[in-house]
Amino acid sequence: MTPRESVQTLPGLTLRDLTLDVPLDRSDPARGTIEVFARVVTARGGEERPYLVFLQGGPGSEAPRPTLDPVSPPWLERALADYQVVMLDQRGTGRSTPVGLDTPLPEAFTPGDVARAGSPRTLGEASAAQRAEYLTHLRADEIVEDCEAVREALGAERWSTLGQSFGGFCTLRYLSVHADSLRETYLTGGLSAVGRHVDDVYAATWEIMIAKSEGYYRRFPGDRERMRELMARARDGEILLPTGDPVSVDRLRTLGHRLGASGGPEQLHYLLELDHRGPAFRHDLAAALPFAGRNPLYAVFHESSYADGGVTNWSADRTMPERVHEDVTLLGGEHLHRSLFREDPELRPWAETADLLAQHEWNTLYDADALRASDVPGAAAVYAVDAYVPLEFSLETAALLPRLHPWITSQYEHNGLRADGAHVMDRLIGLATGRLAL
């Protein structure tokens, strides 16, 4: 396939944009295509450097856009010293064909015998079952195949990966099926559980969030009573967003995801200082909630990202400990509640689709034998108190990869790559290439 290309420049950088048409469903390419976008960032003088593809966390968010003052993302400058960096907008995000109610469906997505007048042309016109079936093709396995298409379009025999969080899950899939295409792999908070049920992961993350909640209240003891008050007001419909929509107890509990990032506890504390009746609180609350309408794929598809096969069946809801049910001040992280799809007007159209996906039998993503046989060197930042990717499962997965160097650190939270990107990137490159010993 021939990509459509354009070139733009920033001082000292060349940005080469590629858009490819790829099959939505690789098991049946005749069903039509979607677009996949990638941006190749090259430093002046680095045109012959090998490629490093960045796999974004999420799922459901596009790759970051490079800026120079300040340098962003913060790891980019260090990466460009050794690589040309490929910023991939994973299928369903950014300038790839996005997921939204206005997203056009591929021409042949619906059966050929459906009358044209009754054939949906957008996801919004499609039935919940059709939407769910469409979304099943946006998972890590197809993202990896998109990577292969971009790599081939660039003429690269092999390239390297940098996988943040969900991007690390994609990297594990890559190592399971296309290890021969990889030079090195770098993972940050991205060593997913292999061969475990999704309930194991959510049960573990609930326990982590209990500990993080208790730690937060030890640091800000007055905030426990403030949170209890806000939860009571939420039950009475008094906690509102700028739109006037009320925020439920379950949704307010997701503010705990702030405890999984450096700087997050302070942000939560300053939010709780504000009068809940004021516009500042309402706007800051809307910005702080993790699941929203800008990236509906993040909410609709989130639990599937942890599933190495099997049915999720609203795992985060089902595994919530009784202690959390009883104590409203104990917060959650990326624990998606089914009720969110009834509460949020922007996510409400996806409610039936989310229910269908919760009952979908997902295919296995990872091949433990292939991981054990992998000869690809790599390094992984494993965060000791990661709220989203539990340490115990990360170490199990790391043990499968013979040439992976795990760097276990309590210096950073899950957002270490954003918080101190140059240092994290430098250490990982040093470990994977042998320039640095643990």
Q: Domain map of the chain by residue range?
A: 4-195+366-433, 198-358
How far is residue 246's CA from residue 267's CA, in Å, rounded to a whole number?
A: 21
pLDDT at 118: 61
pTM to 2 decimal places: 0.95
pLDDT at 436: 75
Per-residue pLDDT averaged across 182-205, rounded?
A: 97
- Name the DSSP letter for residue 401: -
pLDDT at 434: 83
User: Which residues lie across from 163 on neighbouring strands?
Assistant: 55, 187
Parallel/antiparallel/unpaired status of strands 84-89 and 159-164? unpaired
Per-residue pLDDT averaged across 379-401, rounded?
A: 97
Considering only 104-108, 196-200, 308-312, 357-361, which range has the smallest mean pLDDT? Answer: 104-108
pLDDT at 288: 96
pLDDT at 71: 84
Q: How confident is the model at residue 68 (pLDDT cuts 50, 70, 90)?
A: confident
Confirm if 175 and 167 have CB atoms less than 8 A apart: no
Backbone φ and ψ for 261, nearest 5 degrees, come out as: -135, 145
Q: How confident is the model at residue 115 (pLDDT cuts 50, 70, 90)?
A: very low
Burial class (CB in 10 A: 0-12, 13-18, 19+), 400: buried
pLDDT at 394 over 80: yes
pLDDT at 1: 65
4-195+366-433 is a CATH 3.20.20.80 domain: no
Condensed to tens digits (0 to 9), the pLDDT of residues 18-62 reads: 999 999 999 999 999 999 999 999 999 999 999 999 999 999 999
pLDDT at 387: 96
Backbone φ and ψ for 351, nearest 5 degrees, come out as: -60, -50
pLDDT at 437: 66
pLDDT at 117: 44
